[in-house]
Structure 1
Amino acid sequence: MRDVLVAGAGPAGWALASACARLGLRTALVAPAPRERWPATYGVWRDELPDLPGYAIAAAPAATLAVGTSGHRLDREYLILDNDGLRRHLTHPAVEVLTGRAEGLQARVVVNATGARARPGGAEQTAYGLVLPAEDAAPLVPANTALLMDWSHPVRDPSFLYAVPRSDGVLVEETSLARAPGLPPDILAARLRHRLSAAGIRIPASPREELVRIPLDAPRAPAPAFGAAAGLIHPATGYSLATSLRLAPPVARALHEGLRDGPAEAIRAASHEIWPPAARAVHRLRLHGFRALLTMSPQTTAEFFELFFRLPAELQRAMTSGRTDLAGTVAAMTELFREAPWRVRIALMALG
């Protein structure tokens, strides 16, 4: 009998399966295509994953910029991951790899790591991107630079430019941060092409495209679940990868120790490791910010992020990465509200 069966072969599924195998648990991972390449471009803050090996990093830009109503250089290092290297980092040879689905397979604990399921009409982050030669992208983003957000071209439904170096060029992406329902890719594609044309950038005849669709208010799958299926997506940023990779070892330990007293105790211990009281409290505050974003006009959105980019790095880190940092999250939100003009305060207070 297997100890753990992980359903889902994305980075979260592989991270948890390998962490369990390292502890000696008899672990299997199952997915319809468990060796399929991951198509997304993943970005993380280095301080979230300081032990990430070099072969899992595709680019470590020298600078990270952001634009609200003015430009800012952020005091955090942003990394673009190499997906093949990341898979190598997350793969353990003791994991039994199965092709198919979890139905009918036996294990003491079966963990759902198949990702978040969008609800009809639910809020989503959507994006449309093109990979350009680095020299072609230079009018929008300097060489060896990550442009995290650029809100300087507000339109009716706010979207921003995201541009990061990759091993094969520069990904330039038009992103709708939060909208219900998500902004369709054809609209984002038209905006991106207009933005590129205005900058004098020629679009290749057959460019490499990237589409993003992240459910921001998807219901959590029943326990035991992990990764996006467990609700680990940050509702105001769409990020979940670093959180999943950080949590995989302690969740594996919880399963390992809990299984000594049976599957029910293992599931309880793992669920507590994923959602301790502090994480639940921080998540409620993040949901408040997410709902406020859904109501903001383009001008108010740009002003809100202008305030965010002015925060000290430790408060920015608390809001984006401090999943159990209740004090830091409260301090950051308090400072944002204190500095906000009235139209931003109204948007925040309307959901209080």
Structure 2
Amino acid sequence: MSRQFDVTIVGSGPAGTALAAACADEGFATALVAPFPRRPWRPTYACFADELPADVRRRAVRSRSPRVRVAAATQRWWTDREYCVLDNAALAGELRRDSVTLVRGRAVGAEHGPGGSRLRLAGGERLRTTVLVDATGSSSRERGEVPAQTAFGLVLPEEEARRLVAPDEAVMMDWRPPVPGSATATFCYCVPLGDGRVLVEETSLVRRPGLPIVTLRELLHARLRRHGVRVSAAQASERVWIDMSAPRPAPRRVLRFGSAAGMLHPASGYGVAAALASAAPTARALARHWAPGPRAAVAGAHGVLWPPAARMVHALRTRGREALLGLSPRQTSRFFEAFFGLPAELRTAYLSSRHDLVGTMSAMLALFGPATPDLRARLVLGTMLARP
């Protein structure tokens, strides 16, 4: 006989685990399905501290940087928002609930009926559930030439990384080329990990297709050598590939959440904080709309995730991403020089708020106005060619 649950979530990353915890807290019989549901999370997750739920901010932060350095033509330091790296083990401990049933298996399909869904797992097991959630993350590279953010990083001892980053700061973006005359637009990203080590990454913000990891590794090595940092001192490496093409989903029988729902910032690739902050409101929406049945519950939760303002902000950010795709390295440096100089409230609106339509539009207009004619032309062209 197949097992029965109120909510079944496929995907055990931070987004799926956070939503499972929130659903369990609402009293739902909740299952979390993944091939290895307790596998540790390996990526380095970072965000501005004010984007996090209060309990995560208190108990699951690995390191904090009161200053954020950015650089394009000039260098600036932002001190208005603390930047932090999450402690993956502490975050998992904060989010896991004994009442959530962990199901080890790979989802291969589902059938839907008036009263719920039946999830099929490889091996033949079937799980009955009222609401089915897809929290499996963004798609794989097999989708082809999608816009992607890629990065290659090395973990270095603090004393070695000091040539690139001060002890009390994080380097969010340093667009100065890794070697003079570089024809590839990449930036350096440095964050302290809180244990005497620093992650230093060479990052390509968004390209179609993503810049190959091997190219980023070569550029990072060149940057480190230029600053006198010993590549041989590296203690670990990190590879990043983020599909930036995930569209905003329409409400159907399966509720999408996290990266699978297109909740990544279409231009920057940030998304974990948004998923953590959205988990409890989504679970509450399921509870409010539960009585009429699964269709109403999914539609209600989708409405909380994607109210009109969020849909419009997502569309604007997507057009902004397409504009970035068409910029030359020189134009990219100019663009970010202008962005880094925006007032703090406009930077915050564009980078962090999924619902601030006025702030997002104001930030984009503030960037467009003082742009040079060639940069303005590229921004207009990229926006007009944006894919839906």
Amino acid in the other structure paired with 2:223: R
How far did residue 144 of structure 1 move?
Answer: 2.6
Q: Are 1:8 and 2:11 an aligned pair?
A: yes
Q: 1:116 aligns with which of 138, 143, 148?
A: 138
* Equivalences for residues 165-176 of structure 1 within 5 A: 165-168=192-195, 169-176=197-204
Cα RMSD (Å): 1.4
Query: Structure 2 vs 1, CA of residues 227 and 170 (structure 1 numbering), >3 Å: closer, same or farther?
Result: same
Q: 2:166 aligns with which of 142, 151, 160?
A: 142
Higher Rg: 2
1:37 matched to 2:31: no
- How far does the alpha carbon of each residue in 1:201-245 deviate from its partner, in whole angstroms, 9 at most, with x for none? 112266300000000013456641100001101110001111101
**Residue number among 79, 84, 89 corresponding to 1:84 in the alignment:** 89
Corresponding residue for 2:220?
192
Task: State the number of aligned residues.
Answer: 352
Please point out which of 271, 288, 295 is paired with 1:257: 288
Structure 2: where are the runs of 5+ without partners?
A: 108-119, 121-125
* TM-score normalised by L of structure 2: 0.88
The residue identity in structure 1 corresponding to 2:132 is V
Structure 1 distance, partners of 2:12, 2:272, is: 13
Give the residue type in structure 1 aligned to 2:158: A
Map 1:292-307 → 2, pairs under 5 A: 292-307=323-338
**Bigger mean CA deviation after superposition, 341-350 or 177-186:** 341-350
- Displaced runs of 4+ in structure 1, greater than 3 A? 219-223
1:290-335 alpha-carbon deviations (Å, 9 max, x no partner): 0011000001101111111111111001101111111111111111
Are the equivalent residues in 2 in contact too, given 1:116–1:220 (CA < 8 A)? no
Residue pair 1:117, 1:219 contacting (<8 A) in 2 also: no
- The one of 59, 70, 93 equivalent to 1:55 is 59
- Alignment match, 1:203: 231
1:67 aligns with 2:89: no
2: CA distance between counterparts of 1:205 and 1:170?
12
Preserved contact between residue 124 and residue 216 of structure 1 (Cα < 8 Å):
yes
Query: Is contact 2:8-2:132 (8 Å) kept?
Result: yes
3-state SS of paired residue (1:238): coil
Aligned to 1:178: 206
| Cα distance in structure 2, aligned partners of 1:302 and 1:340 | 12
Report the more deviating stretch, 146-155 or 119-128. Answer: 146-155
Deviation of 1:17 after TM superposition, in Å, equals 0.4
Q: Which structure has more strand as a fraction of its residues?
A: 2
In structure 2, what residue type is equivalent to 1:158? A
The one-letter code matched in structure 1 to 2:97 is H
Distance 1:46 1:62 in 2: 10
Aligned to 2:110: none
Instruction: Give me the TM-score of the superposition, normalised by structure 1.
Output: 0.97
Q: Where does residue 21 of structure 1 map in the other structure? A: 24
The reply on whether 1:237 has 2:268 as its aligned counterpart is yes
Cα displacement (A) at 1:55 = 3.1
Look up the SS of the partner of 2:210 in the other structure. Answer: coil
- How far apart are 1:50 and its partner, in Å? 5.2
Match of 1:106 in 2: 128
Q: Aligned equivalents of 1:202 and 1:215: distance in 2?
A: 31
Question: Helix, strand or coil for the counterpart of 2:41?
Answer: coil
Partners of 1:271 and 1:11 in 2: CA distance: 19
**Per the alignment, in what secondary structure is the counterpart of residue 164 of structure 2?**
coil
Query: CA offsets per residue over residues 119-162 of structure 1, 9 Å max, x none?
Result: 31111000000000000000111113100000011732311000
CA contact (8 A) 2:154 2:234 kept: no
Secondary structure, aligned partner of 1:87 = helix
Task: Tell me if the contact between 2:246 and 2:261 (Cα under 8 Å) persists in the aligned partners.
Answer: no
From 188, 191, 208, the equivalent of 1:161 is 188
Letter in 2 for 1:100: G
Identity %: 45
Superposition deviation, residue 54 in structure 1: 3.2
* Inter-partner Cα distance in structure 2 for 1:230 and 1:144: 35
Give the counterpart letter for 1:11 in structure 2.
Answer: P
Deviation at 1:101, TM superposition (A): 2.6
* 2:317 counterpart SS class: helix
The answer to whether the aligner puts 1:129 opposite 2:153 as a matched pair is yes
Contact in 1 for aligned 2:154/2:200 (Cα 8 Å):
yes
Deviation of the 1:53 alpha carbon: 4.0
